[in-house]
Amino acid sequence: MTKEGLHDLLEVMSLEEKVGQMNQLSGSFFNPSASVTGPIEGKKFARESISLCGSVLGLMGTKTVKKVQKEYLENHPHKIPLLFMMDVINGYKTIFPIPLAQGASFAPKLAGHCARIAAKEAAADGLHVTFSPMTDLVWDARWGRVMESTGEDPYLNGRFAEAMVKGYQGNGFDRPYAMAACVKHFAGYGAPEAGRDYNTVELSQHTLRQFYLPAYEAGIHAGAALTMASFNTLEGIPATGNLWLMREVLRKEIGFEGVLISDWSAIEEMISHGYCADRKEAALRAVMAGVDIDMMSGVYAEHLVRLVREGQVAETLIDEAVMRILKLKNNLGLFENPYPDSDENEASRLFLCQEHREFARKAARESFVLLKNDGILPLAGEKKTAFIGPYVGSQNLIGSWSLTGDVKDVTTLKKALLEQGPNQDMAFAQGSPMLDEMMDLEGFHERQKENFTPGEQEKMLKEAIDAAKRAEVVVMALGEDRLQSGEATSNANIQIPKVQQVLLEEVSKSNENVIVVLFSGRPLDIRNIVQKAKAILQVWLPGTEGARAIVDVLFGEYNPSGKLPMAFPYCVGQVPIHYNSYPTGRPHIPGKDKDRFRSKYLDIPNEPLFPFGYGLSYTCFSISPVMLSKKDMIKGGCIEASVMVKNIGSVKGTETLQLYIHDLAASVVRPVKELKGFCKVELKPGEARKVCFSITEKELRFLTGNGRVESEEGEFEVYIGNSSSTDNKARFMLGCRR
């Protein structure tokens, strides 16, 4: 439809029709089997609200979507098609590693291709919009939703946000099977106090702009069609009704022109926040802030028409919101074809096809992080190996937000091992339940509660100990259950379940050659595991083909290359923790623990157990001192920073070189390091390569003391290494020397 056609359509729509476009309902109002991703108790909507609603979430399947769309269009006054939306987070039917794991790949292009495959499968099944990527910055591992972010760094998150948006959408929906992407949750959702989901967020303007906004901005500038408002408050005002945040920052400063949607029932929740007295005021606050679509609260459907007719809301405000929604539908081609890519045969062909499975396996391999290796990995096939732990036979490898996936499609680690090495001397034992006694977990559509008698648990443990005694090497598959991370899974204890800790303790007494394959949706406190294991491979929640990828890495078919996108804390007492912190006036000096008046803990180190950017390989690399092309940079100029990296080990491997910048003195305190670039380099044994980074004045800009994003003259340190803890640095000046 032409631009003029859209305006003509808006002109003839009744006020009720317009408000209907701003109302989103769960698919359960159209089909009882639809996915539900939020509380639905007490949700009642008038029949007219249902018949005129502009979008549906949680409904999928070509037959179902086509049926609902057809019936809706037959009864709609102006035949405006529905939008079908879904949380397609890390895959649709073919499930990829969780987003945090994808961040560990340090390969945005890989994540973009995962998004492209997800869009193909989802669009073929009738969907138009995905609520992804989540670009929230995360510093606190207690918050379960860290699994849906790509980590603790603004720069890294921004690169992944760009890649994922383009993966879903293409260049302006110019290809088949494109989906509209939604950047979420605007803004600051990843910083809830105490790591407790939906809790208050308290950020200074400087911290918000310096650390949290850049990744949202990157996704929006990449062309994201939608943005989702966050549940939390900012400066005492819920984001959903925050006029300054949405109108000034999102619309004017960042330049977002797409559709702004609330999160589930968030408009109504402004009453619980104490910001609105009732549903009518909530509708007024949200529409004034510029929220275009009310997801599942019914507040707009109930009150917007009346607010306009009472003169409290100008109809032009409604028109602006509705035009954005109509433009989105038009950009997706829905007016010409309400079922643009929906094709049952094509969906069946694409779902879990060999090409998609192979890429899922590749993505999983690249996401694994080798945290420790005392030379025990890779495994030698001739050694008698016992595989022990609740994850040996589990199919729950896909993450809690994999709503559209099915664990039945997941290969277990045991099956993958038998496929690859049926003639090898292997033993298998579960060893323990996945969860502690009385632990009862609830997901969106499932509950996880194990009921083993004490006798059954004792038998499992004995079988594991016996297997360990007979083996030369023990591989223990341990970790969080997948329902222990995700939305509404905040946890004050970020260790593996106690029953698994007991299993590790007993097995390690029987065999000292222990390798731990660690599953989780968040960084964990693994001090005890580090003490007892000779090797630790962090595999996150790796998806449909995760087990086969694990076998590839364990037996050396693939050399692990992942790097931590989020630090593993020494213990929960350190969180929130992140590498790019500000220096203090009394910094702790390592080795001087008795110097009392310093910023330090009495009982634990300041540093995390494993820092951002950390990850080992089966080979070793040497990195030369940093070389600079010059020691001075003029405004508008650039400096080349380089190192020579060499594979000094015996097998081919990939190293990820990371560039960090530190501004030594500025009008506001600057982080001790900031990631500004990274480069993955694959090298054969003995091979060396020069890796160059170009540093421009743009990389030196920040939010200065006068409130502008700009650079300041002065001295800078440039670091190049293989983690954020590197001290390999050189110095240069920007502008005139002082």
**Residue 307 and residue 279: Cα distance in Å, rounded?**
12
Angle between helices 266-273 and 279-289 (to 10 degrees): 120
CATH number reported for the structural domain that contains residue 684 in this entry = 2.60.40.10
Do 402 and 504 belong together in one domain?
Answer: yes
Do 630 and 538 belong together in one domain?
Answer: no
Position 738 scores a pLDDT of 42
**Which entry of 153, 263, 341, 663 is annotated as an active-site residue?**
263
Does residue 681 lie within any of the structural domains?
yes
Enter the tokens of residue 218: 């990157």
Does residue 1 lie within any of the structural domains?
no
Q: What is the pTM of this model?
A: 0.96
Do 527 and 437 belong together in one domain?
Answer: yes
**Residue 352 and residue 346: Cα distance in Å, rounded?**
12
- Kindly list the averaged pLDDT for each block of 10 residues, start to end, along the chain of length 738: 96 97 93 62 71 95 96 95 98 98 98 98 97 98 98 98 97 90 98 96 95 98 98 96 98 98 97 97 98 97 97 98 98 95 96 98 98 96 92 95 94 94 84 90 74 92 98 97 94 96 98 98 98 98 98 97 98 97 92 84 94 98 98 92 98 98 97 98 98 96 93 97 98 77
Last residue of a domain, one of 566, 592, 609: 566
Residue 376 near residue 472, CB atoms below 8 Å: no
Compute how many other C-beta atoms are within 10 angstroms of the C-beta atom of residue 672.
17
**Residue 402 and residue 407: Cα distance in Å, rounded?**
9
Position 450 scores a pLDDT of 81
Q: For residue 474, give the H/E element and its range.
A: strand 473-479
- Write out the residue range of the structural domain in which residue 712 sits: 621-734
Distance of CA 13 to the CA centre of its chain: 39
Residue 455 near residue 436, CB atoms below 8 Å: no
User: Is the four-CA dihedral 25, 31, 37, 38 of positive or negative sign?
Assistant: positive
Last residue of a domain, one of 520, 543, 566: 566
Do 549 and 419 belong together in one domain?
Answer: yes
Position 660 scores a pLDDT of 98
Residue showing tokens 């992407």 = 181
Does residue 108 lie within any of the structural domains?
no
Residue showing tokens 């529905």 = 82
Do 560 and 636 belong together in one domain?
Answer: no
Do 562 and 635 belong together in one domain?
Answer: no
Pick from 109, 260, 87, 92: nearest CA to 177:
92
Does residue 517 lie within any of the structural domains?
yes
Do 439 and 527 belong together in one domain?
Answer: yes
Does residue 225 lie within any of the structural domains?
no
263 is catalytic: yes
Enter the tokens of residue 466: 């016996």
Do 667 and 519 belong together in one domain?
Answer: no
**Residue 357 and residue 362: Cα distance in Å, rounded?**
9
% helix / strand / coil in the chain, to the nearest 5? 35, 20, 45
Do 394 and 491 belong together in one domain?
Answer: yes
Residue 115 near residue 360, CB atoms below 8 Å: no
CATH number reported for the structural domain that contains residue 410 in this entry = 3.40.50.1700
Does residue 702 lie within any of the structural domains?
yes
Q: How many residues does the chain have?
A: 738
The DSSP-derived string for 339-399 is SSS--HHHHHHHTT-HHHHHHHHHHHHHH-EEEEESS--SPPTTS-EEEESTTSS----S-
**Residue 319 and residue 292: Cα distance in Å, rounded?**
10
Do 519 and 665 belong together in one domain?
Answer: no
Last residue of a domain, one of 525, 549, 566: 566
* Domains held by the chain: number: 2
Pick from 475, 555, 488: nearest CA to 518:
475
Alpha helices in 523-653 (DSSP H): 527-532, 546-554
Do 549 and 649 belong together in one domain?
Answer: no
Do 699 and 634 belong together in one domain?
Answer: yes
Does residue 182 lie within any of the structural domains?
no
Does residue 331 lie within any of the structural domains?
no
